[in-house]
Structure 1
Amino acid sequence: MSREKSVQSIPTDAGEARITWLPATTGARPRLVLAVSHGAGGGIEARDLKALAAALPGQGVTVALVEQPWRVAGKKVAPAPKTLDTGWRGLWPALAEPGLPVVAGGRSAGARVACRTATELGAAAVLALSFPLHPPGRPEKSRADELLGAGVPTLVVQGGNDPFGRPEEFPPGPYELAEVPYGDHGFAVPKKSGLSEEQTMGILTEAVSGWLMSLG
């Protein structure tokens, strides 16, 4: 595929979705595709998705930023999980078209989608950014079963102060977990932490990059 940034519209049973492709810029052949989608409260302009899109193509990883149909349609509220999964399934053939292993990823609600559909779609692995382990203040409403059921190598990157689940709340399981110290659900950190956004995004991208390279 071209090494130029491009935007692709994809019809799905949930409506028109969109993929922003940022192709690998080094190596004779890209290693894999990291496909990541946004959460229920924002879009692909999230700081973590932008950081990954800026860092990984130079390491031989093609990044595909996915916008679910509800975002493309300009809606403010995300639909039910079943509809999110339908949109993701409809996108998958385009994500797999380059012929490379595809790592399914997402932030928050997008991470849940990636976990729920990974085995079914043949994802090589799952990247879960800010996995919403439970609603804030409701640890009894655990979504751990989605994470534990991904069935493929999985990396969770979690803010140390994420109200949807701090790292120490996650149960043991067949996944890796990297912490962004002091980070909230959007990986923002308080000024008193002494960390800048550049530093926190460096922690995140280094963790993701190292894990992706370990996949072989």
Structure 2
Amino acid sequence: MGENILIVDDEKEIADLLEVCLKNEGYTVYKFYNGTEAFQEIEETEIHLAVLDIMLPDIDGMQLCRKIREKYYFPIIMLTARVADSDKILGLTVGADDYMVKPFNPLEVVARVKTHLRRYQKYNLMGNGKEEKDEYDIRGLVINRTKHKCSLYGKELSLTPIEFSILWYLCEHQGKVVPSEELFEAVWKEKYLNNNNTVMAHVGRLREKLREPAKNPKFIKTVWGVGYEIE
């Protein structure tokens, strides 16, 4: 292992506990109690995953997440005491990959860190081996799984690993309506629970990057009550 994990939480007990758990798993941990110092560290150190609290003393965790996503695409797990679906959707919309509500089991956080790092490593390492023709070109939207790159009308898109996985799965099932439950379980490798808005939030962010009009999207169609389709 040895991956660099950033923890940002102003609740010292929680930050310290996560630090101990992650270090026990062999990770290098950079711990901060405010967002300003944390972002400075991000610009100086290669970070592989961040765990961010939403309520910070100097900068809102949502703002920090949005700021990170302007330049970096490593996985981000948000922590919060809020339980409203609207808060979860907002966190995912600004670029978070996962969301955990306090109180939580720190071992579950470690498990999710491992899951997201595996996906991130695949995102970064694919294409280093033997080249394969593994690509879809859908009306100017080109996505290549081997190189793990995506472009629209010749301009490369900056997608997070989760966003890439969602788009690839939809392209792979082009012409078929993919239920939200199937898409969630295929990408997140977890059991889908009722009223889970995670997929919707990430598809919304994908559409923004594809510059899709909300009412008549060209690529990702919504089949209400069922799921999504790329025709």
Give the TM-score of the pair, scaled to structure 1: 0.43
The structure in which a higher percent of residues are helix is 2
Higher RCO, 1 or 2 (CA under 8 Å, sep at least 6)? 1
TM-score if structure 2 supplies the norm length? 0.41
Bigger radius of gyration, 1 or 2?
2
